[in-house]
Amino acid sequence: MAVWTKRKNHQQQSQQFQKLMQKNAPKQPIVKNLLWAFFVGGAICVIGQAIQNYLIATWGFTLKEAGAPTASVLVFLGALFTGLGVYDELGKRAGAGSIVPITGFANSIVAPALEFKREGYVFGIGAKMFIIAGPVIVYGLITAVIIGLIRYFFG
């Protein structure tokens, strides 16, 4: 009987605590956050489109050929701005708007490398560089191999 009473009291205290947390939690400016994410993510995509249009118009690339250099330039810019500390400030305001485009991938590689650089090149930068992006690379590679095999055997 005592165990049942303790469990019931614990549940009541837990419910009271949850109500108190909900009441005192700061209100999130959801609309403002959504707008920041939308416009920053859109701006990154517009920059990517401008790079692609420049490559097509100036260098004579086709639309298909311009994709890889555009992605490379965006990854470089994401890494550069992460190293300069600009991308982290952008991420604080834009949230997913700065993470979703390809520049967020560059940020996910460079940021841990910068954080652990004091531990040396091998155990710091080398070991921690892919701590966030590593699973993305592994699963992307596995998926590419599976799709390649399916296309090879059934295509």
pLDDT category of residue 98 using cuts at 50, 70 and 90: confident
pLDDT of residue 1 exceeding 60? no
DSSP string, 29-86: -HHHHHHHHHHHHHHHHHHHHHHHHHHHHHH---TTTTHHHHHHHHHHHHHHHHHTTH
Q: Tokens 């999130």 sit at which residue? A: 28
Among the ranges given (50-64, 77-91, 98-112), the one the predictor scored with the smallest mean pLDDT: 98-112
Domain limits, the chain = 29-130
Mean pLDDT, range 98-119, rounded to an integer: 82
On whether the CB atoms of residues 92 and 107 are closer than 8 A, the answer is no
Q: What is the pLDDT of residue 138?
A: 85
- When the pLDDT of each residue in the chain is averaged and rounded to a whole number, the result is 86
Q: What is the pLDDT of residue 107?
A: 86
On whether the CB atoms of residues 94 and 42 are closer than 8 A, the answer is no
Mean pLDDT, range 76-87, rounded to an integer: 92
Mean pLDDT, range 115-126, rounded to an integer: 77
Q: What's the helix, strand, coil split of the chain in %, to 5?
A: 85, 0, 15
Q: What is the pLDDT of residue 69?
A: 96
Q: Does 29 or 5 have the greater pLDDT score?
A: 29
